[in-house]
Each structure stands twice: as C-alpha cells, then as structure tokens.
Structure 1
Amino acid sequence: MIILQLTLIIGGWTAPAMAITEEQKLVSETWRIVNRAYLDETFNHQNWWFIREKAIRQNLKNREETYSAIEKMLASLDDPFTRLLKPNQYRSLQVSTSGELTGVGLQIALDAETGQLTVVAPIDGSPAAEVGIQPRDRILKIDQFSTDELTLDEAATHMRGPIGSTVTLTVQRFDTTEIEEIELVRDRIALNPVFAQLRSESSVAPIGYIRLSQFSANATEEVANAIQTLDKQGAKAYILDLRNNPGGLLQAGVEIARLWLNDGTVVYTVNRQGVLGSFDVVSPPLTQAPLAVLVNQGTASASEILAGALQDNLRAQLVGEKTFGKGLIQSLFDLSDGSGLAVTVAKYETPNHHDIHKLGIKPDKIVPTKALTRNQIATDADPQYQAAVELLMSEFALADAA
C-alpha cells in the first residue's frame, strides 16, 4: 500500500503552466534588467524575487496598469534615479542629450532627503533662466498639479509643451519661506552646450572663457573647438564655467576632462560587487595653460566628475560654492514596447577616492553666489568670475617672480 501511494504521487497529473501575458512579460523584462544591473545587490534590503512574484501575479488588464505595477516595483528600491520612462518620456530624454526640446528649460531632481521636486539648474537662455529660477528652488505645483503627487518624469512632462503655450509654476525659493507663482511661456530650448569668448580684462594675459551648460552628445567636440579657437586667438589661461550645469552623458564628462589632463585617472566607478573600474587619460591635452573652474550648487553629476578630476589631478582650482552632490551613475535600457528604464548601475569616486554623493565637492576658493541677470554672468558684476580671474593672474605673477 505504501509503495502504491508513492507511485501515484510521483506519476500524478500536474496542471499545465498558465501562458504568460504580454503585460506580465514586460514586468518580468523590467525585473530581469534591474536584477542584473542594479547597484545595490540587496535591493534596498528586500527579497527582490518576492517583489517580482507579487507584481507578476496581478491581473494586469492594459499597459497603463502594467506601467503602474512596474513603477510600484521600482519604488520599493527607494531610488528616484531608477525609474520607468514611458515611450514619450524616453524619446524626450533621448532628444535632450542630442537635439532640442520645447518647454521651460529646467533640469530637475527629487531631493534625496525630503523627496521634494527641486531645481538642479535652469538651462542657459531658457524661459526659466530668464525669470530668475535658481538651483535648489523647490517646485510645489505645476499648474494645478501638486508635485507631491507626481513622479520626476511626470513633472517633466507637465512642464514640456508646444511653443507659445503657458505653464504656471509655484516655486518656493531656496532657504526661504517665500512662495511665488510664476507664469512661463514655453519655448524651444537650444541645447548648444558651449559659449566661448576671449577676454582681455587683465593686462597680464588674455583669458579664454568657456561656459559649458550641459554634457550632451556634441559637448566634447564643441569644447575642443573652443579651446583650439581660443588658443589661436592668443589665450594664455582659461576659465571653465560649470555653474548650473546639471550633467548629462558620463562619457562626455570623461572625454572633456581628457582635453585638459596630461595624465592620471579621470574617475573611478564602483559596481555592485565593489569592483573598481576607471577612466584614465589616454592622450596629451589640448592645452596646458592655467585653468580655473567655476562651480556652484547647480553643478551636478557629470559636471562633478569633470570638476573632481581637474581638482584632484591638480590641473585646476575650483572657485565658487559646494557642488550639488550626485555621485550615482545610471544606464538606459530599452524595453520591448518602446519604453525605457533608467537604472542606477554604479557610483563614482573622484581620482582621490572621494565619494561625493549627497556631499558635493568643496571648491578651493569659496565665493558665495550672487543673483545675476543673464547679461551679468562672467562680467565685473560676477564675483565668482572675478575671483577666478584674480586667481589666474596671481599664478602668472608667481611664475614671473620665480
């Protein structure tokens, strides 16, 4: 009898597995990417397989329900930088690093401590910059929508729109209780990342001024062209302005650092296994002329990689205020339905192994930010710019004395 019972159990009938739906496939595809690539292998100290099973067992009737399930799954990681990008959001992000877009021209992030929607930096020449919105200002509402109820990408979507249309932002100024309602007219946002000009404020030596606003796909080529042009015009020193530069492509940050450095490491990356990788200098610099770099609270991400590389390799001194403090690296992954996934895959360390996430980079010479109009940037009215000029001229004076 016992043998018969065992035989019946072993050879018993098993129900066929249920066919997986297209919606469940998308959830599973997302889960696999995060499982393979995410920086924190504890997945925020939770059972990541259990999270998958809970998500995939839902009765997902349509794509929007699937997106909601994926967003809930990703939210469990407590990482605002790891997020789903719906097809229209994914296309907009790809455009923002390679072409142009229409909107108000704000780079935004969720504050790591408060979760509030915070301005990283306004894009130079944009409607937001024209009305004086500043880094670290908090956006409380977009039209009638409270930003407490919006994801980062939903907030960006609400601010974008056709040229000539309007949007009202409710803004709380950084370090104050002042709240303003600001109506902005959306416009085409030019993404030409570089402005360059030879300056002759000093009788000692002409200075090449380069303002870099974003690390887009063409940023390296544009900075290289600027250095070569200014060199031909007689520049003997350079000021690289990274203020209010919210970052962009990691590779662009690395390549631009290589334009200035003679040797050394640009940045270290640390993956989930704690394995160090590095990006090193691979060719001679375009110039070895003295260099000062302007930074402020809107200097973030790839800008901090560049600033940290130049500071730690003693190639340049930083002037201004402590930087934003974003030391995490995201990669973009295509999903099968045309949406995308931004996943935190590594953190970075400066050449001296400083982890700057949530800490920022302290400049060599601290000069507080002053509210400036667009036309006052890099002029006599700009104390950070003037401090950089004085720093370079003192270097020339010391060289002459030696």
Structure 2
Amino acid sequence: MCQANASNAETVEAAWGFVKRSYFDQSYNNQDWEAAHQRYLDRVKKGQRAESVVRDMIASLGDRYSRVIDAATFEQLMAFDPLGVGLVLARNDAKQVFVSSPPFAGSAAEKAGIKQGDIVDSINNMSFKEMSLLAVCDRVAQGDAAEVSLQLQRPGNAEVREVSLARPRQAKPLNQVECGVVTGKNDRKIGYFRLRNVGARSAVDLRAALAKVRSDGAQELVIDLRGNPGGSFPAALEIAEIFLKPGAVAAQVQLPTSESRKPLRVGEGTSQTSTEPLVVLVDGGSASASEVLAVALRGNCRAPLLGSKTFGKAAVQGVFGLPNKEAVALTVARYSGPSGTQIEGGLQPDLPLPGPSLPLGISLSGAAAELGLPLLQNGDYAALDVRASQANGTSHAVKRIEGVQDFVPPNAIEELGTATLAQRVQVLESIVQQQAQQLQQMTKVLEGVQKDVRRTVSVMQYNILASYLGKNTQPWFLYGADISAEEREQVFARFNARGPDGTPKHAWPDYATGILSPEEIAEVERYDAFFRWDFRRQKLLDQIEIMDPDVLSLVELDDHAFFAECLCDEWDSVFRKRPRASSADGCGIFWRKSKFELLASEGFDMVDGSDDKGREKRDRSCVMVLLKWRVAGHHVLPLVVVSTHLAKDPYNKAQTAIRVRQVTQIMASLTEFTSKHEARHCPVVLLGDLNARHFGEIRGHGAQSSDAQASRNEGSILPHVILVFLLL
C-alpha cells in the first residue's frame, strides 16, 4: 500500500474506532459495524480519499448531530486551549486522565513528542486524584506562567516522565456572565444574570456575579438563558451546584454501554451558594447544556421556567481528532432531567412570556465560547456540545461553530458592519434601552409569579379503629382509667394466657376480675363508652368542622359510606378497601370541592407478611390522588396526596422489614403514577398510619414536617405522621 493510502487508511481506521467505542447508538443505525469496517478500508485501497470515506461513514449513522469537522475549523476551535499547549484531555473508563486526540499540529505538545493515549498524572503538580480535570485546567488557564509542567506515562510503560511545555498561546478567558440589578415594586431588588454560553468559566464567573449583585442589594435572582446555545455538559452541572442542595440529582445521563440512565448528583462536598428566590428565562434558542441547567433547577423545584419552548437537544457530543487533522463530532451520551424529564423536543415553560429575546449587546468569540473544554468524567472524549440548526431564528448559533465569528445580535450585524463610531454608539444605546424595557417587563411578571406561585394547604390525618375498639375484647382501655402499672401488667398477663386453640381464655371483664376492684372495672367501662363508634364518629365530624382542613385522610376506615354521605356537600373522596376478605376497613382521602379538582387517582394492595405455608399475603392498602387547584395561575403545580396504613408492631424486626418493603412499593408506585400523569415535579403529601418507631425507617423518601417533628417525644411511635416531599 502506498504511503498516501496508508495515511488514508489510518484516518479511516481511527474514525471507525471512535464510532465503535464511543457512539451512543451501539446498533450503529442497524448496521453491522464490523462488516462496515472492511467496506470503508476497501474504498481506501481503491484510491478514495479519507475525507470522503469518513464523511460517508458518519452520515451512515443517521444522526443529525454527528458530523465531520474540517481541519481549518478544528484548528480554530482548538485555538482556545485552556492549557495553551495544544492538548485535548479526557478521562478513560479507568478514571485516568489521558490525551484523547493527537496534539495540534505545530503545538508545544506535538513538538515534545506527546502522543494520543498518553496518561497524564498531574499538571503543575496538581494531581487529578485530588482535583477534577475541569478545576485543574481552569486554574492553569487563569495563571500567567510561561510554562506548563506535566507528568506523563506511556500506556504499558510504568516510567513517569516530566515534560515542561512553553505556553506561546496564553489563554485569556472572557467573562461569560453579564449581570446587573433592577428595582421592582416595593423596592425589591432583582439580580439579573445573562449567560452567553455554558463553558469552563461559567460557574466561576456566575459566583463572582452573584457576589456583586448581592453587594448591590439583590434579594431575588433571574438567570437569562435565552439565545444560549449550550456548551459543556459538566459545566452546566457545576452551575447547578450553586443553587441546589448537596446530593440533589441534577440530571440523568445514558452512556453507550448502559441501557439505564445514571443519576448525576451535586457533589456531597459542595455547599449551596444561593437560596434566593429564582426564575429562569428560556426560549427557542436555549439548547443543549443550557437546557440541562434549566431542567436541573426546575426538576428540583428550585426555579420555574419563563419564556417560550426551548430548542430540545438532549445529546452530548464528543470531538475526536483524526490523523489527517480533521475531527469527528459524535453523539456519545443522552441526558434527561432529574426525574427523567425528556429534553428532546424542547422544554415547555411554566409561564409563557411574549416578545423576542433580549439582544446580547456584546461581541463574543464563538470558538472561545464553544471550547472551554471542560471534560466529561465517564468516557474517552472531550465534551464539545454544540447545536447545528437554523430553527427558531437561531442561525447565529450555527455560525459560532461553522464560521467561528464574533457573536453579535443578528439584527445589528449590518448596522455595526459599516457604521461610524457615532452610529455604533447609537445602535448600542438602542440595544441597552431594549434590555431595560425587557427587564421591566420581566420584573412585573416575576412579581406576579411570587404572588401566585405559593399555595397553602391544610391537611388532617385520623385513624378510625371503629370496629376494633367497639368489640371490647382487648384491654386497650386500661390506659384510660386510674390503674397502677402493676395492675395493668397483671391484667395483660392474664389476657395473653391463651387457650390450646390460641384464643383468649377470658372475655372482658373476666380477665380483670380478682385483679381490679369492681370500682376500677366500672371506671374502665365508663371510659370505654367514649370509644363507642356512634359517639366517636360524631366527635370526629365536629373536629373536622373545627379544624377545617382542605385535605382529610382517614385510615382503618370501615365506615366510608357514612363519611362520604355526611361530607358530600363540600367534599369528594376516594377509598381503597383492605384486601383481607374479613375486613371492611381501608384508606380514604377526602378533599374540598371548592379547593381542588380530581385529575387522577389510583389504589393498590401491599404485602403484609406470609401465611402459615410461607405464601405472601396482601393485607395493606394504599390510595393516591392528583389534585388540581381550582383557583390558581396555570403555573402552580398540582398536589399529590397519598394515604396508607403500614405493617403493625414497630418493635418487631420482621414487621420493620415489611414496612421498609411497603414504603419501597409505595415510592415505586408513586413514581409510576406521577410519571404517567406528568406530575413528577409536583409536591407530595404522604398521610397515614406508618407504625414506625422513628422517622429513620422512612427517611430518604421524604422530609419530615417540622410540626410532626415537634409533636413527638424521642423514642415514641409515629402512627400519624405527615410527610411533605418531592420525588427525586
């Protein structure tokens, strides 16, 4: 094979290998990729150039985001190099940092003999075991050192060598965040941030901007992502860390080697920087990494989205350099919101806003914006996340990657191109005026949202125990009489002394006779009168009227028809009977008709142990409803209410294990229910008889309300706990 053909074959081989290892669709658009390998090499042997063969190869994948980047464009993209030495770094499956593409032609890295695949242990004595790749590159980019020192290993060689590289191309990161403060009604000051893109320095610049607007008195925040075409996926997660609690799921990502999505959480070692009220502005020009940021904040109920539908790009691209100095951009992962919200096709805003996007007003190097080169940690690629579409009037975003020109407002390009200095000033003043008008409109909308976005709901939970206490077969009522602990223990011992068939030997009051005096037995019976159902149910109706709740949960309810009839004028309800044939009780949820409208309901049965033959028996029930507020703005979220009765005996280990299993089943059913009805981001109220010794048994599925925490003593059972939480 001649030298030219050998070079072409090397390029085709490299491109084919990148697709095989890293392309998201491992069916390769339903192709036999091994067979395709030989077909492409055969074309090279027949004299076809690598450029043509590789383009056909990538086109065969049928992916609108995967493409070939020509050498000239790739060189310009590489011109913004955070290290300044011509290297593109990534992490491999073993979490090692390595050189993911051939060093750029003529760069210091190429001259030093660094090869694709070399392992990088540290840069400027900063170890990747202690710092992220993004943090190291950012620190180097911010420094003014004339050299970069790397510790390298060649694959298969344990020898570590140190290389010092000159930095002829000093990186000068541009500020990626514009900020300011506007004053709304009641002198409330609003901090405004416009993110030009999502790049290596976005989180750093946003933190600095946040400090600035706080010093200017900002009490509420607005992040403007309109016209933001994205950038780096991990940079979007770094920005989300500023606003989310440690451990929160910011996004889910699916890699080529996995059929399931992996949750990406905010680092446990981080601290939430901002807790101020927040809204996010989006439009059809918000794409890719900016959509990741938007859905992370909304998915954690941290901020509503205002504006118009986003672009809808849920793919992450990796850029891989080829031996012929071109590169291939491949879709290497797909992402979704924290709860699985699909981004492909666009995110609908919680509150639509009319009007055009704000003009940016400041030039920005497209190459610098696109390639801050923060890298994904889970694959052998650098994340170059760009969009190639003319849709929604965002052709300027395409020029950023294809033409690599300054990014100025499209409607001002012609005016600024040939204008005099005075004319340029006039145009820019007009742009600033438009921004001010848009900010005033946004301020009014924000004030309206703040008035309407919060809704208060009062709930009431009660255990009926109608037939159980009415039977008067167990000494429950001894606690209501003036009886000593010693007497009570003796009565319990006699009651628990069962006959050969397992039933109690005595009925009341036989098992108390001889232990309690006739006066004490009479006192117990007088107290028992208060537990008769005809007395208690009227008292409960009186209490409902006094407390005036919006939502009512009744557990162990064996008289649903009575309550449904008594409350029918003002209340609607659903009921789920306990599966045991001999029981009439179950769980019921009631809600005020004037406050809520039922959107959906669902009930199911749960395992509650096993019978004497070891077969699972279902003896617990759960019911859930999705309620829509009748008087609310359309951006106010519906409410999910769950009522259940978990396994008894809080001090029995087997029953505790069953309770944990029941909670797991409830959460799985709740996830399915809310996903089916597009309510994954709605608040959830869990009511019922949880029979738990302490909140730790169900912690991790919700957050205990402060009232519930304050109302119990340490070590007591939590039979009637109200939990309010959000699904993760």
TM-score with structure 1 length normalisation? 0.66
Specify whether residues 225 and 372 from structure 1 end up closer, same or farther in structure 2 by C-alpha distance, changes over 3 A only.
closer
Moved over 6 A (4+): 17-20, 96-99, 395-399
Q: Indicate conservation of the 8 Å contact 1:241/1:295, yes or no.
A: yes
Distance 1:346 1:295, change over 3 A: same
Which of 306, 317, 322 does residue 319 from structure 1 map onto?
A: 306
Report the Cα distance in structure 1 between the residues aligned to 2:186 and 2:453, rounded to whole angstroms: 11
SS at match of 2:437: coil
Q: 2:251 aligns with which of 255, 262, 267?
A: 267
Among 216, 236, 239, the alignment partner of 1:233 is 216
| Equivalent in the alignment of 1:37 | 22
Q: Does 1:213 align with 2:200?
A: no
Equivalences, count: 291
Aligned counterpart for 1:339 among listed residues 326, 333, 346: 326
The 8 Å contact of residues 369 and 384 in structure 1, kept in 2 or not, is answered as no
Partner Cα separation in structure 1 for residue 31 and residue 238 of structure 2 = 37
Task: Work out whether 1:279 is the aligned partner of 2:264.
Answer: yes
- Cα offset for 1:98? 6.5
Deviation of the 1:191 alpha carbon: 5.4
Instruction: Specify the code of the residue in structure 2 equivalent to 1:266.
Output: A
How far residue 298 of structure 1 moved from its aligned partner, in angstroms, is: 0.4
Rounded to whole Å, the distance in 2 between the matches of 1:87 and 1:301 is 25
Q: Note the residue ranges of structure 2 that are not aligned, 5 or more in a row.
A: 84-172, 360-430, 457-728
The CA deviation string for residues 219-267 of structure 1, in whole angstroms up to 9 with x for no partner, is 1111111011112222100000000000001111110011111241111
Asked whether the equivalents of residues 319 and 384 of structure 1 are also in contact (C-alpha less than 8 Å), the reply is no
CA RMSD across the alignment: 2.9
> How far off its partner does 1:322 sit?
0.8
Q: Given the superposition, is the C-alpha separation of residues 33 and 246 from structure 1 closer, same or farther in structure 2, using an over 3 Å criterion? A: same
Change (3 A) 1:68 1:200: same
Q: TM-score, normalised by structure 2?
A: 0.37
1:360 counterpart residue number = 346
The one-letter code sitting in structure 2 at the alignment partner of 1:325 is G
Matched residue, 1:290:
277
Matched residue of 1:58: which SS?
A: helix
Is the Cα–Cα contact under 8 Å of residues 294 and 385 in structure 1 kept in the other structure?
no
Task: Indicate conservation of the 8 Å contact 2:306/2:353, yes or no.
Answer: yes
The alpha carbon displacement at 1:324 in A equals: 0.4
SS in 2 for 1:51: helix
Q: Secondary structure at the match of 1:315?
A: coil
Q: Give, in whole Å, the separation in 2 of the partners of 1:339 and 1:66.
A: 10
Q: 1:96 to 1:21 in 2, by over 3 A?
A: same
Kindly state the Cα deviation for residue 379 of structure 1 after the two structures are TM-superposed.
Answer: 2.6
Contact 1:376 1:382 in 2 (8 A): no
Where does residue 309 of structure 1 map in the other structure? 296
What is the CA–CA distance in structure 2 between the aligned matches of 1:392 and 1:194, rounded to whole Å?
Answer: 25
- Structure 1 position 268, deviation (Å): 0.6
Q: Secondary structure at the match of 1:369?
A: coil
> Is the contact made by 1:292 and 1:319 (CA closer than 8 Å) also made in structure 2?
yes
Shift in Å, 1:214: 0.5
Cα deviation for residue 213 of structure 1 reads 1.2
Q: 1:86 to 1:61 in 2, by over 3 A?
A: farther
- Residue matched to 2:55: 71
Amino acid at match of 1:293: V
Structure 2 counterpart of 1:91? 75
Q: How does 1:112-261 map to 2 (within 5 A)?
A: 192-261=175-244
Given that 1:97 and 1:249 are in contact with CA atoms closer than 8 Å, whether structure 2 keeps it comes out as no
User: Which runs of 5 or more structure 1 residues have no equivalent in the other structure?
Assistant: 1-16, 100-189
Cα distance in 1 for partners of 2:454, 2:259 equals: 45
Indicate which of 418, 443, 447 corresponds to 1:390: 447
Post-superposition Cα deviations, 1:10-29, rounded to whole Å, max 9, x if no partner, equal: xxxxxxx9997121111011
Aligned residue for 2:222, secondary structure, equals strand
For residues 46 and 389 of structure 1, the distance between their equivalents in structure 2, rounded to whole angstroms, comes to 51
Amino acid at match of 2:178: F
- Aligned partner of 2:432 among 359, 364, 375: 375
Q: Which residue of 1 aligns with 2:505?
A: none
Q: Output the CA distance in 2 between the equivalents of 1:205 and 1:392.
A: 14
1:120 equivalent in structure 2: none
Q: 1:336 deviation in Å? A: 2.9
Question: Hey, what's the Cα distance between the residues in 1 that align with 2:358 and 2:233?
Answer: 29
CA distance in 1, matches of 2:221, 2:314: 26
> Matches of 2:180 and 2:440 in 1, distance apart?
18
Residue 253 of structure 1 contacts residue 302 of structure 1 at CA under 8 Å; is this kept in 2? yes
Q: Determine if contact 2:226/2:357 at 8 Å carries over to the other structure.
A: no
CA distance in 2, matches of 1:321, 1:313: 20
**Deviation of the 1:30 alpha carbon:** 0.6
Which structure has more RCO (C-alpha within 8 Å, separation ≥ 6)? Answer: 1
SS at match of 2:230: coil
Distance 1:249 1:378 in 2: 27
Contact 1:330 1:344 in 2 (8 A): yes
Q: Name the CA distance, whole Å, in 1 between partners of 2:357 and 2:21.
A: 45
Contact 1:71–1:83 (8 Å) recurs in 2:
yes
Q: Is 2:38 aligned against 1:53?
A: yes
CA pair 393-258 structure 1, distance change in 2 beyond 3 A = same
Go from structure 1 to structure 2 and tell me whether the alpha carbon gap of 1:209 and 1:71 turns closer, same or farther (over 3 Å shift). Answer: same
Contact 1:367/1:384, CA 8 A, preserved across alignment: no
Structure of higher CA gyration radius:
2
1:202–1:348 Cα change, 3 Å: same
Letter in 1 for 2:40: A
**Residues in 2 aligned to 1:376 and 1:315: alpha-carbon distance in whole angstroms:** 30
CA distance in 2, matches of 1:61, 1:266: 50
In 2: Cα distance, 1:259 partner to 1:326 partner: 23
Q: Which residue of 2 aligns with 1:129?
A: none
Tell me, in whole angstroms, the C-alpha distance in 1 between the residues paired with 2:343 and 2:438: 30
Match of 2:316 in 1: 329
Q: 1:372 to 1:215 in 2, by over 3 A?
A: closer
The one-letter amino acid paired with 2:52 is S
| Contact 2:68–2:329, Cα closer than 8 Å, also in 1 | yes
By how many angstroms is 1:371 displaced?
6.8
Q: Distance in 1 between matches of 2:323 and 2:6?
A: 14
Partner SS state of residue 63, structure 2: coil
- 1:211 CA displacement: 0.5
Give the whole-Å Cα distance in 2 for the aligned partners of 1:252 and 1:203: 36
Instruction: After superposition, give the CA deviation of every residue in 1:84-135 in whole Å (9 maximum; x if it has no partner).
Output: 2222222323447969xxxxxxxxxxxxxxxxxxxxxxxxxxxxxxxxxxxx
Cα shift at 1:356: 1.5
